[in-house]
Structure 1
């Protein structure tokens, strides 16, 4: 044995050669032999979630998702009911609007017919009118005006001057007050008998 070989070999406390039993121990040998020091990776392994933890978390998440889906379904059902109610209300309003439009058209036709009827009655009332111009204005009453008209018409007909004539109305036409030199206001009289009016004319 050379001196170099002697210096490279470890010695024990008593100067003898160290045996294989004095080699440093590994972490696995510490766990097997019950060593007092615990490696840090063991706590990390124990802190990792297990299958039961993942299963419980998944079940809780699924329950929350199902609750939200049920709430969304309830909201959708409420919206569907409200849309159905609005559509029904729109249909009823459309029917009411149609009926109102038909009633308005009917009323319009009736008003048009009444206007034509009133115009016809007005024309029928005027066709018995006679207008006299140039009759001097006096402060006589309407009764005296009718007596004067009776004398004029009976004279035209060649009858007795006081013969009765049926007047519906007799009055002077209305107009703004004129000057003293302005012509007298016309006299308008309506006879009850159309044939008599034609004979006088």
Structure 2
């Protein structure tokens, strides 16, 4: 009887032992797979960090190129949309304004590469005038106009206060 009981326990113990070995093998497989996944994740994270740094570098370079392309630009804020001649010939209006800033005769020529109204920002109220952006051909003249405009706080066109700014990339202004 004891022999029968011992054989029964032995069979059951062998079955449990086989189950434990099978579970041990499965656990080992899972641990190896987890280790592989962790290695892959670490590699992906390192690659992502490298790409993020490269993206930040390229964004800084792009911002620099954008600002260098705008180095001859001035942004004039406050000239009313209804100011005489501003729609038809913004260059003439800006020439008159800049000659007043420099104190020179109004008809003194200033060479512009271009001049136009900026697009209306979404948050700008409809009654506020859009900025005028101009590219002055001569960088030194642009710098002189900018410097004197900063000193002269009482610039007006059609009774409206006008300010002159450096034209900078939007990403620079947000920083």
Q: Scaled by the length of structure 2, what TM-score is found?
A: 0.56
Higher Rg: 1
Cα distance in 1 for residues equivalent to 2:119 and 2:40: 51
Structure number with higher helix proportion? 1
1:67 maps to 2:11: yes
Shift of 1:127: 1.9
Q: Residues 193 and 109 (structure 1 numbering): CA distance in 2 closer, same or farther, change over 3 Å?
A: farther
Q: Counterpart of 1:166? A: 113
Secondary structure in structure 1 of the residue aligned to 2:4: helix
Cα distance in 2 for residues equivalent to 1:73 and 1:106: 49
Q: Give RMSD over aligned pairs.
A: 4.0
Q: Which runs of 5+ in 2 are unaligned?
A: 147-175
Write out per-residue CA displacement over residues 167-200 of structure 1, whole angstroms, 9 at most, x where no aligned residue. 1x43269765679xxxx87643124664663577
1:115 maps to 2:59: yes
Q: Residues 108 and 65 (structure 1 numbering): CA distance in 2 closer, same or farther, change over 3 Å?
A: same
Write out per-residue CA displacement over residues 27-58 of structure 1, whole angstroms, 9 at most, x where no aligned residue. xxxxxxxxxxxxxxxxxxxxxxxxxxxxxx23
Structure number with higher strand proportion? 2
Shift of 1:141: 5.7
Secondary structure in structure 1 of the residue aligned to 2:116: strand
Cα distance in 1 for residues equivalent to 2:131 and 2:67: 20
In terms of mean alpha carbon deviation, does 140-149 or 152-161 score higher?
152-161
Q: Residues 141 and 153 (structure 1 numbering): CA distance in 2 closer, same or farther, change over 3 Å?
A: closer
Match 1:78 to one of 15, 18, 22: 22
1:138 maps to 2:105: no
Q: Counterpart of 2:135? A: 190
Shift of 1:76: 1.0
Q: Residues 110 and 134 (structure 1 numbering): CA distance in 2 closer, same or farther, change over 3 Å?
A: closer
Secondary structure in structure 2 of the residue aligned to 1:127: coil
